[in-house]
């Protein structure tokens, strides 16, 4: 038995054990039904031998109402859903991105005042940072 489709279908693969006669009958029957449909369509639509309204139900004449269903969805509840998604994108997603941008810009403006170009100021900040790190490390160490 071939197992090359096992990663795709797993244990759900169906094994058909059809006899040759049954398989031939099913193939012949489906071919006959298809040819009958083609012949009927030829006489109804190309030769106009039979009025199409006699065999077409309104369901088929209106394309199974697919276009109407899509139009009703997109124009009704679909549009409200799309507007809700757009509002979520505008308020939450764009709001988060713009908020991070404003926070970065505000933090940079505050940090810009510290960076004034004086080397003595930088040395003082390095010394202050070193003292703060040293105090933190010493507060975490236990001497007992």
Question: Same domain for 99 and 50?
Answer: no
Q: How many angstroms separate the CA atoms of 13 and 4, rounded?
A: 11
Number of domains in the chain: 2
Domain presence at residue 72: no
Question: In the structure encoding, which two tokens stand for residue 41, read together?
Answer: 């369509």
Q: What is the pLDDT of residues 32-49, one digit of tens each?
A: 999 999 998 899 889 888
| Residue at token pair 């005042």 | 113
Length of the chain: 144
Higher-pLDDT residue of 51, 73: 73
Which structural domain range is residue 92 located in? 79-140
DSSP codes joined into one string, 43-55: IIIIS--S-GGGT
Q: How many angstroms separate the CA atoms of 88 and 95, rounded?
A: 9
Compute, in degrees rounded to 10, the torsion defined by CA atoms 129, 130, 134, 140.
40
Question: Same domain for 91 and 136?
Answer: yes
pLDDT score for 34: 97
Q: What is the pLDDT of residues 94-136, one digit of tens each?
A: 999 999 999 999 999 988 887 888 899 889 999 999 999 999 9
Domain presence at residue 14: no
CA 27 to chain centre: 39
Classify residue 34 as exposed, middle or buried by CB count within 10 Å of its CB (0-12, 13-18, 19+): exposed
Q: How many angstroms separate the CA atoms of 142 and 26, rounded?
A: 86
Q: What is the pLDDT of residues 4-34, one digit of tens each?
A: 777 777 777 667 787 889 989 999 999 999 9
Question: Same domain for 90 and 134?
Answer: yes
Q: How many angstroms separate the CA atoms of 50 and 43, rounded?
A: 7
pLDDT score for 63: 76
């Amino acid at each position: 038995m071939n197992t090359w489709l096992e990663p795709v279908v797993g244990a759900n693969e169906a094994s058909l054990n059809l006899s040759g006669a049954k398989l031939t009958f099913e193939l012949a029957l489906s071919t006959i039904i298809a040819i009958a449909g083609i012949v009927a369509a030829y006489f109804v639509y190309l030769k106009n031998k039979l009025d199409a309204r006699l065999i077409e139900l309104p369901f088929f004449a209106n394309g199974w109402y697919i276009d109407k269903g899509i139009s009703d969805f997109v124009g009704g509840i679909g549009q409200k859903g799309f507007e809700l998604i757009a509002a979520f994108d505008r308020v939450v997603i764009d709001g988060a991105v713009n908020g991070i941008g404003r926070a970065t810009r505000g933090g940079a403006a505050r940090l810009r005042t510290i960076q004034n170009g004086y080397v003595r100021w930088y040395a003082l900040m390095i010394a202050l940072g070193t003292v703060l790190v040293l105090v933190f490390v010493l507060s975490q160490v236990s001497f007992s």
